[in-house]
């Protein structure tokens, strides 16, 4: 519980630290993981895909956004995270993941009316800002979108996690005291300082920092965000109200376009913002975005979303893998898509790829998906000691696949696998390139009373076969180079 005394004693930076360490640690870890990939010039898009795929709920939401009209106007269906990265680009998918994790964290409660109001303004401003940036020929409107969406992240976090302090500030604001005065009087600092602290702490981008520090005093990009937020706030008082018309005039001037040309775009953006909020899971916020054409709230239909793995999804991912192999794939892309197919398409609880070391003396885990997969990857380290009748040695040396439904009927010894955390039922199969084993895929079901049908096992082996073809294709291309 954050009391008013705590909030004053902590100060803005102390409150930032509390949010980071106590209230939103998962978001901080996701930000760190994505930024680490983004800052590493050697990292591929598959590294970002792996981060997203570790969270099944996040995967579903990213794919839903990737198939929405706002992000995918061509409506070309996207079945996999790997395909989303190709179609939409690294930055767009990374921003989707960041904002989805953030919104999930902020929809927990607190002074809910204030949280939802801030979120509605954020979505409205983000969609408007992206259009303004595009009309100004901005090279990266998506960066402007995310900066507008997160420009008041500290305010949202305070209302969500501020407890008693948030209630006290809410009561003061309800009396009509201006926000800047109320915040300083009640807390001793501005909520904007929390936003700035979080943005710097989470390294959310230079543009966002500039937006908070400079606002309309900055360049075109900062001004797009500032004007969009001003419009989102003023429109709540009515689209025909003088304050709103004044902001619209400022926008037209900023774009150097007639107001009559700008207004239809602004109106369409309000509707698009409401739909975007729904697609992000912020349904209450969607209903608060003012729509100029209807003059009131509308019901925004949520787009269809498939839940859980299914045969149709399996076929779509296999098709994507075949298309990838037909082109000029790299090993990381083949690996990531095959793991995604086994994990999501077949519905295995964990999927792992392990590779032989250059001296071919050991098999070492390289990548995995699913709950607990990271620990399994770390433990999946086996010496190829030639021990007869042992699972790992047999798979690698005899290039033999195994489907094991229970430990009692296993045709080989499983002790090393089980010590590493592997459990039946599982499938393990070698990747063979030009007659040589280079690695293995392993997939299991870990839930109590889990079963593995013959159809599911065959499906896993089919993905392994396709991956082997992809690895052969890459190897052949390298030999020709």
Nearest to 130 by CA among 141, 122, 120, 139: 141
User: How do residues 425-466 score in pLDDT, each as one tens digit?
Assistant: 999 999 999 899 999 999 999 988 889 999 999 999 999 999
Torsion of CA 464, 469, 473, 474, to 10 degrees: 10
Helix/strand/coil (H/E/C) assignment for every residue in 194-208: HHHHHHHHCCCCHHH
Do 46 and 335 contact (CB within 8 A), yes or no?
A: yes
pLDDT exceeds 90 at position 130: yes
Alpha carbon distance 142, 89 (integer Å): 10
Check residue 295 and give its pLDDT.
43
Check residue 293 and give its pLDDT.
61
Q: With bands split at pLDDT 50, 70 and 90, how would you rate the model's confidence at 71? A: confident
User: How do residues 251-288 score in pLDDT, each as one tens digit?
Assistant: 999 999 999 999 999 999 999 999 889 888 888 899 99
- DSSP of 384-414: ----TTBHHHHHHHH---EEES-GGG-SSB-
Higher-scoring residue by pLDDT: 355, 68: 355
Q: What mean pLDDT comes out for the span 50-68?
A: 87
Check residue 42 and give its pLDDT.
63
3-state secondary structure of 18: helix
pLDDT exceeds 90 at position 4: no
Check residue 310 and give its pLDDT.
65
Check residue 193 and give its pLDDT.
95
Check residue 60 and give its pLDDT.
87
Alpha carbon distance 325, 5 (integer Å): 61
Q: With bands split at pLDDT 50, 70 and 90, how would you rate the model's confidence at 102? A: confident
Q: What mean pLDDT comes out for the span 123-151?
A: 94
Check residue 45 and give its pLDDT.
74
Label residue 374 exposed, middle or buried (CB < 10 Å: 0-12, 13-18, 19+).
middle
pLDDT exceeds 80 at position 154: yes
Q: What mean pLDDT comes out for the span 213-218?
A: 85
Q: With bands split at pLDDT 50, 70 and 90, how would you rate the model's confidence at 41? A: low
User: How do residues 294-346 score in pLDDT, each as one tens digit?
Assistant: 544 444 444 443 434 468 888 888 888 888 888 877 888 889 899 999 999 99
Higher-scoring residue by pLDDT: 448, 167: 167
Check residue 476 and give its pLDDT.
77
Q: With bands split at pLDDT 50, 70 and 90, how would you rate the model's confidence at 372? A: confident
Check residue 316 and give its pLDDT.
86
Helix axes 4-18, 179-187, angle to 10 degrees: 100
């Amino acid at each position: 519980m954050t009391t008013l005394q705590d909030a004053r004693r902590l100060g803005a930076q102390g409150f930032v630290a509390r949010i980071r360490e106590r209230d939103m640690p998962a978001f901080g870890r996701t930000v760190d993981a994505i930024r680490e990939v983004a800052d590493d010039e050697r990292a591929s898009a598959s590294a970002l895909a792996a981060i997203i795929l570790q969270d099944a709920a996040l995967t579903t939401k990213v794919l839903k956004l990737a198939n929405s009209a706002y992000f995918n106007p061509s409506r070309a269906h996207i079945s996999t995270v790997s395909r989303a990265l190709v179609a939409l680009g690294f930055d767009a998918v990374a921003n989707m993941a960041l904002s989805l994790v953030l919104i999930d964290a902020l929809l927990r409660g607190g002074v809910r009316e204030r949280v939802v109001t801030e979120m509605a303004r954020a979505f409205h401003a983000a969609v408007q800002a992206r259009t303004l940036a595009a009309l100004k020929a901005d090279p990266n409107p998506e960066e402007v979108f995310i900066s507008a969406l997160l420009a008041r992240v500290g305010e949202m976090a305070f209302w969500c996690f501020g407890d008693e302090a948030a209630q006290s500030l809410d009561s003061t604001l309800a009396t009509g005291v201006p926000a800047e005065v109320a915040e300083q009087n009640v807390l001793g600092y501005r909520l904007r300082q929390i936003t700035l602290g979080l943005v710097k702490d989470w390294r959310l981008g230079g543009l966002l920092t500039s937006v908070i520090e400079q606002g309309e005093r900055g360049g075109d990009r900062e001004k797009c965000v500032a004007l969009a937020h001003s419009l989102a706030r003023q429109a709540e008082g009515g689209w025909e109200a003088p304050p709103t018309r004044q902001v619209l005039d400022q926008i037209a001037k900023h774009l150097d376009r007639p107001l009559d040309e700008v207004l239809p775009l602004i109106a369409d953006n309000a509707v698009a913002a409401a739909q975007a909020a729904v697609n992000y899971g912020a349904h209450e916020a969607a209903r608060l975005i003012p729509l100029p054409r209807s003059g009131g709230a509308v019901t925004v239909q949520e787009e269809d979303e498939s839940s859980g793995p299914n045969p149709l999804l399996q076929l779509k991912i296999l098709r994507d893998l075949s298309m990838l192999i037909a082109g000029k794939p790299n090993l990381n892309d083949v690996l990531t898509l095959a793991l995604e197919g086994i994990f999501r398409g077949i519905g295995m609880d964990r999927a792992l790829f392990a590779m032989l070391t250059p001296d071919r003396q050991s098999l070492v885990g390289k990548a995995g998906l699913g709950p607990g997969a990271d620990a399994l990857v770390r433990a999946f380290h086996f010496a190829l000691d030639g021990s007869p009748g042992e699972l790992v040695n047999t798979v690698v040396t005899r290039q033999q696949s195994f489907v094991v439904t229970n430990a009692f009927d296993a045709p080989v010894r499983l002790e090393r696998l089980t010590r590493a955390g592997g459990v039946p039922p599982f499938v393990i199969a070698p990747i063979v390139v030009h007659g040589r084993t280079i690695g293995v895929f392993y997939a299991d079901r870990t839930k109590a009373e889990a079963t593995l049908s013959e159809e599911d096992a065959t499906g896993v082996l089919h993905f392994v076969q396709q991956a082997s073809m992809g690895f052969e294709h890459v190897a052949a291309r390298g030999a020709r180079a």
